[in-house]
């Protein structure tokens, strides 16, 4: 009811009148609109069962033509029916993905260094304006932070600035967390980075799976998805996804372990079965083998 009243009032107001209105009405009507938009976008990312399979194919932003993504469009097309969200760059979206695609998009909006620049790897800043993200009709944006490097402050302030902008338009920010070299991808450092990202305003946190992963999940007040990391044997990748879900992760944001698999379609089906159907790693691996036979 209140929303309807505001819609009617706003239709007739100029920006100056809007400012005046805010003086008399302490409730900021933007919150009414944007809160719904934020919730709507989050509901596209996280499905009704509270889980999500995000397919990450954004690697080109710092790795160039990554193995398996040389023709990104061809690789991704058969995988889309089994993914809930597609995570990629704006260039990949515009050049490889047809605009009538139904899958929600998580757009990578941070970057700036290449894999060749080892010292500064992940010293990232904003690479896409919020306007372009909106123009692309994205459901979420992804911003990387690196904790435990001398330049951590740059990445963290970059993310928080982007969160402020994204909040203005009701767009959730996925924080892609990484820890500095030598710190180890263990529960101590991954929980530090994840908790920081959540406290700084991220809607979802992406991190790596580790031993005692439940500690990372328990101390992070927003949903967590895991990255797949470098390609490992399918059976191991499925175990990792299963363990992450059992520890409380809401899903995966997985790339190389899907698109570099011997059979990417079979692999994403198997990952999906763990995330949405609670398959055990054994059942999922059986599914992978069965599906691999079918499409050979």
Task: Give the active site residues.
Answer: 206
- Which residue, among 252, 254, 167, 177, has the nearest Cα to 220 in the 3D structure? 177
Nearer to ligand R5P, 168 or 181 (CB): 181
Q: Residue 141 or residue 254: which is nearer to ligand R5P going by CB? A: 254
- Residues that bind ligand R5P in the complex, under the rule CB under 6 A: 56, 58-59, 144, 176, 227-229, 253-257
- Cα(first)–Cα(last) distance of the chain, in Å? 57
Residue 207 near residue 190, CB atoms below 8 Å: yes
Report in angstroms how near the CB of residue 27 gets to ligand R5P at its nearest. Answer: 38
d(CA 244, CA 249): 5
- 196 or 258: whose CB is closer to ligand R5P? 258
Least distance (Å) between residue 176 CB and ligand R5P = 5
State the pairing for strand pair 140-147/173-179: parallel
Q: What length is written for the chain? A: 296
DSSP-H helix ranges across the chain: 2-11, 15-24, 29-45, 60-63, 72-76, 90-96, 130-135, 152-168, 187-199, 213-218, 234-246, 256-259, 264-277, 281-294
CB-based contact 158:110 (threshold 8 Å): yes
CB of residue 154 to ligand R5P, shortest distance in Å: 16
Q: Which is nearer to ligand R5P, 149 or 257 (CB)?
A: 257
**What is the smallest separation between the CB atom of 141 and ligand R5P, expressed in angstroms?**
12
Largest Cα separation within the chain, whole Å, is 67
CA angle (44 as vertex; 42, 49 as ends), nearest 5: 90
Euclidean distance between CA atoms 13 and 70, whole angstroms = 50
Can you count the helices (H) and strands (E) in the chain?
14, 10
* Rg, Å, the chain Cα set: 20
Shortest distance (Å) from residue 116 CB to ligand R5P: 15
Judged by beta carbon, residue 6 or residue 243, the one nearer ligand R5P is: 243
CA distance linking residue 240 with residue 252, whole number of Å: 10
CB of 2 to ligand R5P, least distance (A): 40
Residue 29 or 133 with smaller CB distance to ligand R5P: 133
């Amino acid at each position: 009811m209140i929303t309807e009243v505001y819609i009617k009032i706003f239709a007739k107001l100029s920006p100056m009148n809007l400012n005046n209105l805010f003086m008399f009405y302490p409730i900021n009507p933007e919150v009414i609109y944007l809160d719904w938009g934020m919730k709507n976008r989050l509901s596209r990312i996280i499905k009704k069962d509270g889980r999500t399979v995000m397919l990450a194919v954004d690697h080109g932003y710092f790795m160039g033509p990554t193995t398996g993504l040389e023709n990104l469009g061809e690789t991704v097309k058969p995988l889309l029916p089994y993914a809930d969200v597609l995570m990629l760059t704006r260039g990949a979206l515009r050049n490889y993905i047809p605009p009538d695609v139904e899958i929600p998009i998580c757009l990578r909006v941070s970057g700036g260094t290449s894999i060749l620049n080892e010292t500064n790897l992940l010293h990232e800043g904003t690479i896409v304006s919020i306007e372009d993200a909106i123009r692309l009709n994205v459901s979420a944006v992804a911003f990387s932070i690196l904790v435990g490097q001398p330049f951590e402050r740059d990445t963290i302030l970059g993310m928080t600035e982007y969160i402020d902008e994204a909040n203005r338009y009701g767009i959730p920010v996925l924080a892609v967390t990484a820890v500095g070299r030598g710190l180890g991808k263990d529960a101590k450092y991954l929980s530090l980075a994840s908790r920081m990202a959540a406290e700084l305003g991220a809607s979802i946190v992406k991190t790596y799976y580790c031993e005692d992963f439940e500690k990372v999940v328990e101390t992070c007040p927003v949903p967590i998805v895991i990255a797949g990391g470098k390609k490992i044997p399918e059976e191991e990748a499925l175990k990792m996804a299963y363990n992450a879900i059992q520890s409380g992760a809401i899903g995966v944001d997985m790339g190389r372990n899907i698109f570099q698999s011997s059979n990417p379609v079979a692999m994403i089906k198997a990952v999906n079965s763990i995330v949405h159907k609670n398959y055990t790693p054994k059942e999922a691996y059986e599914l992978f083998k069965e599906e691999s036979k079918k499409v050979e």
